[in-house]
Amino acid sequence: MCPLNLIILNNLSQMRTFAHISTRKVRIGLCVLITFLVISPSFGQNNKSAPPSDSLWFIELPVMVVTATKSAIELRDVPIPTKVILGEQIRLRGGLRLSDLLSEETGFLQIHYFGSGIQLQGFDSEYTLILIDGQPVIGRNGGTLDLDRFSVSNIERVEIVQGPSSSLYGSEALAGVINLRTRSATKPLAGFASHRIQSNGTRNSNVAIESIIKGLGSRFNYDRYSSDGYDLSPDVIGLTGPSFVTHTSTARFDDTFGEKVTASLGARLAIQNQSNVIGFDQSGVELSFEERFRQKDWSLSPSFVWKFSPKHRFTFRGHLTSFDSHSELDDTTGHSVVQFNQGYQKAEVQHDLILPRGLIVNTGAGLIGEFVEADRISGGARTNQTTFAFSQQQWFPWNWLQIITSGRLDRHSDFGIHFSPKAAVMYKSAGSLRVRGSIGSGFKAPSFQQLYMDFTNAVAGYTVVGASDVAGALQNLESLGQIQAYLTDPDTFTDILPETSVAYNLSADFDLTSRIQVHISAFRNNVRDLIETLPVAAKPNGQQVFTYVNLSRIYTQGLSTEITAQPFRSIHISMGYQFLSAKDRRVLEDIDQGIVFGRQNGRDYRLSRSDYGGLFNRSKHSGTIQVAYTSPDKHTNIQIRGTIRSRYGYGDLNGNSILDAASEYVKGYLILNTSFTRDVTSRITLQAGVNNLMGYTSPQFVPSLSGRQLFAGLSISTN
C-alpha cells in the first residue's frame, strides 16, 4: 500500500481525536512577581462622548480592546501589537466562519491540517490561543483548533494580540491570542434573521433576539450551517469535503445592580454531524470505508464585577467547558469506534487599582482543572491542575510615554513551575506617530497526546507512544514481538519540557497624509525545546514506532506593513505585505559543519545556507489587498479582496528531512473574493458575492478550497 495513501487514510479516519493540554515538569528556581498589570486610564469613567478614532482602521467610534491588558483600553493607546476587526467589517465581507475572516488579514496564513487553522508570525495554529469573551476554547485535533467551528454571526469584534502573551494567559499563547467578543443586548426589544445559499448546497441560517428589561440584558443567537460537500478528485473514492450540519446556539445575559455591581453569563452549545466515504485502490482492489463523525462542545462562563470605590475594582470569572467527539468507521473487516472527551474548568479573581502619578495596577490569581478521556490515552483518562498568579502595571510618566510590565507564574501538576515576563513601551509624538516596542516570553506545555497517547493504527500499522514512559511502552511491544530493531537507545529519553520562546516586536504607525495611514512592524521569536516526533524503533511489518522529544531550536522573524488609503470619499483601499523567515537553528549549524547533503542527478552534494528553505508550510512572501466602495448614502457597499502567498514547502522527498529541493515546494496562489451589500431599507439587507473568484483548487495541498463559490443572502432586522 502506498505510504501516502496510508497517511491520507489515517488522517481522515482519525481526524479530530487529538487535543493539546498543558503537562509535564520543568524545574525553575524561586520566582518573585515584581511586575504589575494595567487597566485603562478611562476605567470608571463615562464614555458617552467618542474620543478621536483610530485612523488606521477608519473607524468613527472609540475602539476599545481588553485582550492585550485584560482591561478596557483604546486601541491606539495599546503598547502591545494589537489588531481589531469590528462587526461592521465582518458583516460587509460576507464571511460565514472565523476561518473566512482571519484568512484575509495580513500575516495570517490559513493552514489545512485536521481542520482550518491560522499561522501567526510563522507559528502553526497550535501556538495561538483562541478565546471567546476572554475564556479559552478547547477541542484541538492534531494541534489544530478548527476555525470552521465558529460562526461570525454573533461576533461584535475580534481582538488579536500578536506575539507571546503567556505573561497574562499562560500556556498556548506563545504566538498570540485571538479573542472573539460576542454581541450583548443594546435595545429594549429587537430581532434579526438571515438566510444564505451558496455553491455545493451550502446553507446558513441565523436567528437572534435581544431585550433589555429593568437593566437585565439578554441575547439569544442560533446559527445553522450545512453543506452537501464537494469532490475535487472524482477518481478518488469519497468526497474531498464531506457533507455536514452544524448547529450553534449562544446566550448572553448582562445585569447591573446599582452603580457598583455588574454581572454577566455566557453560554454556548455547538453540535456537528458529518459523514463521508473514504478509500483508495490497492493493487487493483478497491478499499472503501464509511465514516460518521459527531462532535459537541458547550461552555458556561459567569463573571461578576464589583466597583468597590473609584480606585478599586474586583472581577470574578468562572469558566466550565467540555468537548467530545465520536467517530465510527465501517469497512469489510468490521466496525471501529474512536471516542474522545475533554473537560476544562477555571476560576479566577482580578483586582484593579488606580494609584497616583499615572500608575494603574492589576493583579489576579486562579485555578485550572483539566481532564481528558480517550480510547488511545494510556490508562484511558488523565487529569492535571494549574494554579496561577499574574500582575501587570501600566504607567504614564508623561503624555508621550507609556510603559507596561507584566508577569505570570504557573504551577502545573505535571511540569512544575513556569514564569513568563513581558515588557512593552509606546512613544506618542505630538502628531500621528506611535512607536511600539515589546519583549516577552511565551510557553506551550506538552499535550496529553504527546505525554500519554499510546496507540497502533490498525490500517497503516505504525505505533505512537507517549513520552511519559517510552522505555516501558517499548518493553511491552518487544515482549509482543513488535520490535525488529531499535533506531534510538530508549535509555537516552528524558522527560519532555514545555516549549519556550523569547520574542521581540517593534512597530510604528503614522499618517503619511490626511488620507494615507501606514503601519510597519518587525518581529523575532527564538524558540527552545521544540517538541518533535521521532522514530525510535522499526516494526516487523516495515512500519515504525514514534514518540515525542525536545529537539529543535527554531526562530521565526519577519517584517510586515499595512497601508490604508482613502483617495476619494467613497473609496477605501488597504494593502498588506509580510516577509517571513522561519528556520531550524540546528539545521543551520549542521550545514555550516558540512554534514547536510542534498541529491541532484544521482549525486550527493553538500548543502549551503542558501539551499535551505526553512520550516515547512511557511511562505516567505504573502500579502492582502482590499478595495471597497461605499455609496454616498451609505446604503451600498462593494468590495474586492485578495490574498496571495508565495510557494511553501510541503514535505521531504529526498530523505534528508529538510526543505531544500524544488520538488518539495507547493506553488504559490492568489485568492480573490468579492461581495455586494445593499441596504434595501433600514430593516432589509441583500448580499451577494463570489468567493475564490478565479476558481483555484489544489486537492492534494489545499483541500479546503472547493473552487469558485457563489452566494446570495437576505437579512431582516426589527431595528
Listed residue (374, 314, 386) closest to 342, CA to CA:
374
Listed residue (333, 344, 336, 341) closest to 299, CA to CA:
344
> pLDDT digit string (tens) for 209-222?
999 998 899 999 99
Domains of the chain in start order, with CATH, are: 3-717 (2.40.170.20)
| Cβ atoms of residues 709 and 692 within 8 Å | yes
**Assigned C-alpha cell, 245:** 450540519
The pLDDT of residue 39 is 29
Q: Residue 610, CB half-sphere, CA atoms under 13 Å: how many?
A: 0
Lowest mean pLDDT among 352-361, 581-590, 609-618: 352-361
Cβ partners under 8 Å of residue 480, min gap 6: none
Tell me: pLDDT of 173 over 60. Answer: yes
The pLDDT of residue 51 is 36
Tell me: pLDDT of 200 over 90. Answer: yes
| Cβ atoms of residues 162 and 121 within 8 Å | yes
Dmax over CA atoms of the chain, in Å, equals 80
Per DSSP bridges, beta strands 135-136 and 216-227 are unpaired
CA end-to-end span of the chain, whole Å? 60
Question: Which 3 state secondary structure label does DSSP give 539?
Answer: coil
| Cβ atoms of residues 180 and 133 within 8 Å | yes
Where residue 298 falls (left for φ over 0; alpha for ψ -120 to 50; beta otherwise) is beta
pLDDT tier for residue 406 given thresholds of 50, 70 and 90: very high
At 665, which amino acid appears?
Y
Q: Render 449-499 in DSSP notation, one character per residue.
A: HHHHB-EE-TTT--EE--GGGHHHHHHHHHHTT--SEESS-GGG--PPPPE
Q: Of all helices (H) and strands (E), which one includes residue 589? A: helix 585-592
Higher per-residue confidence, 380 vs 254: 254
As a whole number, mean pLDDT of residues 607-620 equals 93
pLDDT tier for residue 225 given thresholds of 50, 70 and 90: very high
Residues 682, 617: Cα–Cα separation, whole Å: 45
As a whole number, mean pLDDT of residues 80-99 equals 92
The pLDDT of residue 204 is 97
As a whole number, mean pLDDT of residues 109-117 equals 83
| Cβ atoms of residues 250 and 221 within 8 Å | yes
Lowest mean pLDDT among 99-108, 425-434, 462-471, 660-669: 462-471
pLDDT tier for residue 622 given thresholds of 50, 70 and 90: very high
The pLDDT of residue 62 is 56
The pLDDT of residue 460 is 62
The pLDDT of residue 64 is 78
Where residue 464 falls (left for φ over 0; alpha for ψ -120 to 50; beta otherwise) is beta
What ranges make up the beta strands (E) of 539-668?
Answer: 544-568, 571-584, 597-600, 603-606, 621-630, 636-645, 648-649, 665-666
| Cβ atoms of residues 632 and 569 within 8 Å | yes
The pLDDT of residue 358 is 81
The pLDDT of residue 627 is 97
Cα separation values, 158 from 63, 164, 549, Å: 11, 18, 35
- Give the torsion sign (CA, 163, 164, 168, 171): positive
Residues 281, 8: Cα–Cα separation, whole Å: 13
**Assigned C-alpha cell, 242:** 464531506
> pLDDT digit string (tens) for 15-41?
333 333 333 333 333 232 323 233 233
Residues 85, 51: Cα–Cα separation, whole Å: 18
> pLDDT digit string (tens) for 701-718?
888 889 999 999 999 999
The pLDDT of residue 478 is 84
What DSSP designation does 35 have? -
Cα separation values, 387 from 134, 170, 194, 346, 370, Å: 18, 10, 44, 10, 12
Rounded percentage of the chain residues whose pLDDT exceeds 70: 89
Residues 673, 641: Cα–Cα separation, whole Å: 5
Residues 78, 424: Cα–Cα separation, whole Å: 9
As a whole number, mean pLDDT of residues 487-510 equals 87
pLDDT tier for residue 70 given thresholds of 50, 70 and 90: confident
| Cβ atoms of residues 211 and 184 within 8 Å | no
Tell me: pLDDT of 8 over 70. Answer: no
Residues 567, 493: Cα–Cα separation, whole Å: 61
Average pLDDT in the chain: 85
The pLDDT of residue 284 is 63
| Cross-strand pairs, 232 | none
Cβ partners under 8 Å of residue 559, min gap 6: 520, 521, 522, 578, 579
Residues 60, 41: Cα–Cα separation, whole Å: 21
As a whole number, mean pLDDT of residues 110-116 equals 81
Q: Can you give the C-alpha Rg of the chain in angstroms?
A: 26
Judged on CB neighbours under 10 Å (0-12, 13-18, 19+), 426 is: buried
The pLDDT of residue 302 is 97
> pLDDT digit string (tens) for 247-296?
999 999 999 988 899 999 999 999 999 988 877 665 566 667 788 899 99
Q: Which residues of 273-288 are buried (b: 16+ CB within 10 A; e: fewer)?
A: ebbbebbbeeeeeebe
Residues 709, 409: Cα–Cα separation, whole Å: 48
What DSSP designation does 667 have? P
Q: If you average pLDDT over each of 324-333, 471-480, 506-515, which comes out highest?
A: 506-515
Listed residue (490, 373, 496, 531) closest to 25, CA to CA:
496
Cα separation values, 545 from 22, 192, 465, 538, 622, Å: 24, 54, 7, 6, 37
Residue 568 CB: number of other CB atoms within 10 A? 10
The pLDDT of residue 17 is 35
Residue 61 φ/ψ, nearest 5 degrees: -125, 160
Residues 464, 539: Cα–Cα separation, whole Å: 12
